[in-house]
Amino acid sequence: MIVEASVPLKLTLFGEHAVVYGRPAIAYTISEYLKIRIKESERFYVTSNTLELTGVKVDLHEYKVENENVKRVLAYITETINYFGAEKKVSIDIESPVDPSVGLGTSAGVVVGMVSAYSTLLGHKLSREQIAKISHEIELRVQGLASIMDTHTETFGGFILVKKGGKEVEKLDANMNFSSGYFRRIATTADMLKRVKKLKESKPQLFESVLNVIEQVTTEAKNAIAKNDEDELGELMYINHGLLFSIGITVPVIDQIVSTARIAGVKGCKVSGGGGGGAVVCTKSEQAEFLIKAMGGKLINANPSFNGVMIKLI
């Protein structure tokens, strides 16, 4: 028997980085799915034909290959197996439609997929609340610092508001479409978190003021989503991008896309996720998709999905 977990990836619409400091944020799941397939095996195996590896380091003296993406994925897998007591040895196959670490929640996808699939193989019947809680605990063990946003959004699906304080989520009733793509990152989320933390420590009052404005923008965005007001939402996206630029997480190629999109009449556009490259999200627009492709980005299916993680037996 093979257990397959299909996990929708996500885009962050508002509040990235601020959510780490207890401010609200809004994310939603897209129509791109990371899949984890698990079956019993005599030994633990991990395979993937789709996760591209960049930044490989090879030690020819000891014949070791080192890669940060691989280390992180293996850490998530190992922590999940250890959480459940390593009760069964399994082979694990990971299928991803996108590159790792581009702001679309692939790391959370691996965790949520592993928790869902491995627990099912062991005979546990976890609720979505339990899957989200355990996944966040595992992400914290590996990263040391993480909000509940990615794991909870990908577990529940749809449009998700992380409430102020970062302990609870709320599903939003939304019917909006977006265009999106991603670029290779020049810095990891961990690097960006350190950069933002350094700014917080050097200019605490100014940093707090920026977080206050991001919180206000996120609150107004929630209201715009409830009213299905794309014009209002788009303007708030541009404002949020400017605030993220001010704390140093954007890169020139995405700044240029956002600026050009505004001139071209796209209603809204912004960086999405941890920054340092990665994803950009705009209100649904052919012009935005043309810009992303023209600048060398890879388009994704950013139409919303609503089911969250799904399990099936093969």
Output the six-digit token pair for 99: 């590159």
224 CA to centre of own chain:
22
Q: Which residue has the tokens 């404005």?
A: 213
Q: Are strands 269-272 and 278-283 parallel, antiparallel or unpaired?
A: antiparallel
Whether 229 is catalytic is no
Question: One-letter amino acid identity for 56?
Answer: V
Please tell me whether residue 275 adopts helix, strand or coil conformation: coil
Q: Which of 3, 45, 10, 14 is nearest to 30 (CA)?
A: 10
d(CA 283, CA 288): 8
**Which listed residue (150, 173, 231, 255) is catalytic?**
150
Q: How far apart are the first and last CA of the chain?
A: 6
How many other C-beta atoms lie within 10 A of the C-beta of residue 263?
Answer: 8
Active site residues: 150
